Amino acid sequence: MCRWLLLLLWALLAGSAAGGSGQTYPHRTLLDTEGKYWLSWGRRDSRLAFRLEVRTAGYVGLGFSPTGAMAAADIVVGGVAQGRPYLQDYFTNENRELTKDAQQDYHLEYAMENSTHTVIEFTRDLQTCDRNDMTITESTVRVIWAYHHEDVGEDGPKYHGSNRGTKSLRLLNPEKNNVLSPATPYFDLVNQNVPIPNKDTTYWCQMFKIPVFQEKHHVIKVQPVIQKGHESLVHHILLYQCDSNFNDSVLDFGHECYHPNMPDAFYTCQTVFFAWAIGGEDFFYPPHVGLSLGTPLDPQYVLLEVHYDNPTYREGLIDNSGLRLFHTTDIRKYDAGVIEAGLWVSRFHTIPPGMPEFLSEGHCTLECLEEALEAEKPSGIHVFAVLLHAHLAGRGIKLRHFRRGKEMKLIAYDDNFDFNFQEFQYLKEERTILPGDNLITECHYNTKDRTWMTWGGLGTRNEMCLSYILYYPRINLARCSSILDIMEQLHFIGVKEIYRPVTTWPFIIKSPKQYKNLSFMDAMNKFKWTEKEGLSFNKLVLGLPVTVRCSRADNAEWSIQGMAALPPAVERPHRAEPSGCTSPSPSLHGTRSLRLLAGLAVLGRVLSSVHWPS
């Protein structure tokens, strides 16, 4: 009996959309907004298994795209036509022209169709070595989907019309086996009727008092509470630990963050307690780790900072979003901590316009880690999850790990960074950080569509380069980051002298004449940037000394704070491991991928000529 008939008989025994091959899929998500298209998936060694459940009697399609559009996509189409199941591997070029792939890399495992639904299950290798397929890694994957009420005909799939969409996912995130009892207690830290201004970026701060516990509790799950309809408005949420020497009057009102009139009490909230970003789901702590509450070391007051992204300047918006914390008295073995690592957010982080590829680095230095770990935990700390964070120009982020000068395996990475999808990456294996280690947050940007400088800052068109590192056991280290020297950057464009003492911000340039009485930001924008100049500037900034930020969780500082340090002598940018394919296989047949590879190659050649300090 032929394979397709066996598959169909198997399906008919199931008899409903809930039927299946019996395989389990640890991950499941709804792709559309109407409840018609469900995707389930799970890893099986070097393969990925998928299940599609779609309300249609025609074809269903799933694909992987560099941008979330149809161009240069890797696509599979399947269904059941006249009782016969089918599955076909396609790809598109830059012009969105659909072609059947000569190398069919998707393998049908199960198919069924009833009066309402089509269900298909299939597998494919993570790395097919087919130039028309996308390699699936731990990076963000922009999944595209479509369906039609008719099956695929002799001329291929008919146009799907509006039955399509895209969603960013991390397909290789480890399985989460956490199921909480419905009786698990929780409390909410949620804003109440916050008026959102009609401007593109707003940071809103509200202080909350943690419930008073008579004994130690562990937070074991954090759930985003996002007001319905505001899923794209609430971009990220940070929860900070504050001083405990307040009365409850500080709870009476919220205020725009980083505003001159922000209440003084808010400035004591410096230690990140938890972080969530757009696209992130519920966060479960590992079974042996919890976030401690109720002890003298734990916060009594916290500050909820919400970043609202309103690029269309909508008016009259009122928001009630925040976080829900589930907790237990069944104490786990370790207390969790958070370290903010990377590049200190400031205007001294500069990215020229018109650059297809620009590399920035934030350093968590050996000196900072050594001082904190030797004092607190000489045997090291163990990392179990990382949130990589940048803004609109971000294209890729890596958290690099070095031990006494030797590079270890990447702790976390995302080569397809999506500003609108930022969630914690659970590590498949915990990573230990020891005294003598150092970390580099490596961020890749594209400013090809910009005509002005991009600055480090809070706005969505400003940039960040950060890693939020979740680890245990908790130590007294909140930030491990670096700041670039701005004067050396200004020397590159020809600035000779600034007015001193500095009494204004941004500070003002004194000479040469072409920049006289301009702010340093205006001078950088006046400079005639070309791609060649941008590459030379990138080479310069990556070799500049940095100022160390090394902050304690109690708002004090380690003695290494403010020290100048040279960047370590490492290969730049990070070189990916070989694919293992015997013939060259660009990640996706596309000129886009080739352009990116070419840009990295040029940047690598330029940076390799730097005489890095030893």
| CA–CA dist 533, 606 (Å, integer) | 11
Sign of the Cα pseudo-torsion (243, 244, 249, 251, in order): positive
From the list 471, 275, 259, 457, the residue with the least C-alpha distance to 382 is 471
| CA–CA dist 600, 406 (Å, integer) | 22
The β-bridge partners of 64 are 74, 143
Backbone angles phi, psi at 572, to 5 degrees: -130, 135
Residues in the chain: 614
Residues with a known catalytic role: 203, 389
Q: 3-state class of 487 per DSSP? A: helix
Sign of the Cα pseudo-torsion (292, 295, 299, 301, in order): positive
Residue 246: which H helix or E strand, with range?
Answer: none
| Contacts of range 492-499, beta carbons closer than 8 Å, 24 or more positions apart | 492/536, 492/537, 492/540, 493/523, 493/524, 493/527, 494/527, 495/520, 495/523
SS3 for 18-80 is CCCCCCCCCEEEECCCCCCEEEEEEEECCEEEEEEEECCCCCEEEEEECCCCCCCCEEEEEEE
Q: Please check whether residue 339 is in contact with residue 478, taking contact to mean a CB–CB distance below 8 angstroms.
A: yes
Question: In which residue are the tokens 């009259």 written?
Answer: 316
CA 441 vs CA 341, 356, 457: distances in Å: 7, 19, 17
Residue type, 411: I
Strand ranges for 512-552 from DSSP E: 546-551
| CA–CA dist 459, 70 (Å, integer) | 30
Q: How far is CA 163 from the centre of its chain?
A: 28
| CA–CA dist 339, 469 (Å, integer) | 5
| CA–CA dist 365, 360 (Å, integer) | 15
SS3 for 200-236 is CEEEEEEEEECCCCCCCEEEEEEEEECCCCCCCCEEE
Q: Please check whether residue 255 is in contact with residue 248, taking contact to mean a CB–CB distance below 8 angstroms.
A: no
| CA–CA dist 542, 443 (Å, integer) | 12
Q: What does DSSP say about strands 479-484 and 337-343: parallel, antiparallel, or unpaired? A: parallel
Q: Is 539 exposed, middle or buried (0-12, 13-18, 19+ CB in 10 A)?
A: middle
